[in-house]
Structure 1
Amino acid sequence: MHILCMSTGNADGIGDVRKEELYRASAILKVPLQQVTVLDHPDFQDGFGKVWNSTVLSNIVEKKVLDHAIDLIITFDNYGVSGHCNHRDVHRGVQRFMLDTSHREIEAWELVSTNIVRKYSGPIDIWLSFWTAHRSLNGQMHCLLNEHPLRSYVAMSQHLTQWVWFRKLFVSFSSYTYVNTLRKTNK
């Protein structure tokens, strides 16, 4: 498993701190640090109103895929879970990569954004997520059940610059802490 983070999250001038927070969270999730890449690309600075170039992003994804023989990508869907513009830009960049690539053995899956009621229904959403995925045709959706939700909480708590009261509530009550539905993207 490799993590490619497209930005240090430097909107408030604390990108280096946020980068270290991601490394600590990755360690909690048992992803080796040499498999975590955090970019500080001048075209991919964090913040609303900063549109990221999908062609440049696609080229970066392609290099990572080729350098590490990656055959499966998981990314945001077109809403980006929270509607954050940079999450949406990542989706568009991966989508462009998938359309442009000649490597047909590569699959891309996107994290399905849910409505606000489902998003904050915690573990109750497990059943609806599995039902929704089960109804999908041809295995185009899969659910990933988190068997260790406390580990997710501890990993998120490593992001001290973001670990404010509402994020603590979000991680506690978010269905994403318990289950994630992935949808296969079309080439």
Structure 2
Amino acid sequence: MDWSVLAISASVFWIASLCKILHVSYFPSKDQYFDSGDNLCKKTVLLVIAHPDDESMFFTPTINYLTSRGHDVHILCLSSGNADGMGNIRKDELYKACAILKLPLKQVVVLDHPELQDGFGNMWNHIFIAKLVEDHIKSLGINTVITFDSYGVSGHCNHRDVHFGIRKVLLDSQQSSLEVWELDSSSILRKYSGPIDIWLSMFMARGRSRMKFLCLVNEHPLKTFQAMAQHASQWVWFRKLFVCFSSYTYVNTLRKIEL
């Protein structure tokens, strides 16, 4: 095998993928589901995450897409990320990142409840999560919720608990109009394929209904790096590599949860 040819081919494919993203940023597409061009169809969206920096590491394609089209985006972060005793620092970092992402700080809520403490060994009560999320849905008039899927991208138990808590909201909800979307966890190969994954994500989306499956390319990938850099306490070398090579920097695929 000629490794030099393989390396050149991979580099060309990488550059072509970045060019596709650049094209999308200059010629943004209109998704028929989230954006019909009618202001009456604008969504009031609640993004529910587990820790400060989840929004920047995993959800910026979605956030950039929604904010650029005038949807009203709120963030509910269920913990302050206090596993290392830096909860207050990480909370402030989240606000700084959200400012980069053009999210009003009054629409960002960070909780620090004893039952929802950050940590791989800390299992969160799904019923308690459901109650908190449902209260926010009612008080803010939320009609669309976005969160992790059952694997939670990295398999972190807190991410997974958020998913199952919100599934309970959907199961118990009296609001027939409430929609819940989950971020699709990809295989490890796709996860670290960087911008190259946009091709497979778009191909998969073409064969599915837009009412149930969305492919959102990050129109402003530089914002992902700028937002994550605001999480200075977490911005160590391996996370810099992750943001560079993670497909979640460049594209999000969302699947509608239907019970």
Band the TM-score falls in, shorter-chain normalisation: over 0.9
Aligned to 1:117: 189
Q: Does 1:184 align with 2:240?
A: no
What is the correspondence of 1:152-171 to structure 2 with a 5 Å cutoff? 152-171=224-243
**Aligned residue pairs, count:** 187
Q: Does 1:145 align with 2:194?
A: no
| 1:140 Cα deviation after fit | 1.3
Aligned to 2:87: 15
Aligned to 1:27: 99
- Structure 1 gaps of 5+ residues are none
Q: Secondary structure at the match of 2:244?
A: helix
Quick one: which of 49, 65, 69 aligns to 2:121?
Answer: 49
Q: Secondary structure at the match of 2:163?
A: helix
How high is the sequence identity, in percent, across the aligned residues?
A: 60
What is the correspondence of 1:90-101 to structure 2 with a 5 Å cutoff? 90-101=162-173
- When normalised by structure 1's length, the TM-score is 0.98
User: Kindly tell me: are residues 8 and 146 of structure 1, through their superposed partners in 2, closer, same or farther at Cα, counting changes over 3 Å?
Assistant: same
Are 1:134 and 1:141, in contact at CA under 8 Å, matched by a contact in 2? no
Tell me how far apart the structure 1 counterparts of residues 206 and 178 of structure 2 sit (CA, whole Å): 23
AA matched with 1:72: T
Aligned to 1:107: 179
Tell me how far apart the structure 2 counterparts of residues 34 and 14 of structure 1 sit (CA, whole Å): 22
Aligned to 2:58: none
Q: Secondary structure at the match of 2:76?
A: strand
Tell me how far apart the structure 2 counterparts of residues 179 and 137 of structure 1 sit (CA, whole Å): 18
| 1:136 Cα deviation after fit | 2.3
Quick one: which of 140, 165, 177 aligns to 1:68?
Answer: 140
Tell me how far apart the structure 1 counterparts of residues 207 and 167 of structure 2 sit (CA, whole Å): 24
AA matched with 2:181: W
Tell me how far apart the structure 1 counterparts of residues 207 and 221 of structure 2 sit (CA, whole Å): 25
Tell me how far apart the structure 1 counterparts of residues 113 and 95 of structure 2 sit (CA, whole Å): 18
Tell me how far apart the structure 2 counterparts of residues 103 and 57 of structure 1 sit (CA, whole Å): 18
Tell me how far apart the structure 1 counterparts of residues 118 and 219 of structure 2 sit (CA, whole Å): 31
Runs (4 or more) in structure 1 with deviation over 2 Å come to 136-139
Are 1:125 and 1:179, in contact at CA under 8 Å, matched by a contact in 2? yes
AA matched with 1:49: G
Tell me how far apart the structure 2 counterparts of residues 125 and 59 of structure 1 sit (CA, whole Å): 36
Aligned to 1:81: 153
